[in-house]
Amino acid sequence: MLARMGRFAIRRERRLTPWTNVYGAARTVLALGTASTLIFNRPSTLFRPAAGISEVPYCEGVGKFGLFCLATNHHLDLARWLAVVALAVVASGYRPRFTGTLHWWIAFSFQSSAIVLDGGDQIAALLALFLIPVTLTDSRRWHWGTPIARTGRLADSLKFVVAVSCIWAIRLQVAGIYFNSAVAKFGVPEWRDGTALYYWLTDPVFGTSGWLSPLVRFLVKSGPGVALMTWGAIAIEILLAMALFMPARRWKYLLIAGIAFHSLIAICQGLVSFGVVMSGALILYLRPWSHAFQPNWQKVAPLRGYPPLGDSALVSSARDADWVG
pLDDT tens, 57-76? 888 889 899 999 998 888 99
CA atoms within 13 A on the CB side of 131: 35
pLDDT given for residue 7 in this prediction: 47
Residue 76 CA to residue 61 CA, distance in Å, equals 19
Residue 301 CA to residue 324 CA, distance in Å, equals 16
Pinpoint the alpha helices (H) of the chain: 2-14, 21-39, 43-46, 67-71, 76-92, 96-113, 119-136, 154-185, 189-192, 196-202, 213-220, 223-242, 251-269, 272-286, 296-300
3-state secondary structure of 33: helix
pLDDT given for residue 313 in this prediction: 39
Residue 161 CA to residue 183 CA, distance in Å, equals 32
CA distances 170 to 46, 47, 241, Å, are 27, 29, 13
- Ranges of residues in the chain with a pLDDT under 50 are 2, 5-10, 12, 297, 299-325
pTM: 0.85
pLDDT given for residue 15 in this prediction: 60
Residue 178 CA to residue 239 CA, distance in Å, equals 9
pLDDT given for residue 324 in this prediction: 31
* DSSP at 315: G
CA distances 278 to 168, 258, 282, Å, are 17, 9, 6
User: Domain coordinates of the chain in residue numbers?
Assistant: 17-145+154-293
pLDDT given for residue 73 in this prediction: 81
pLDDT given for residue 4 in this prediction: 53
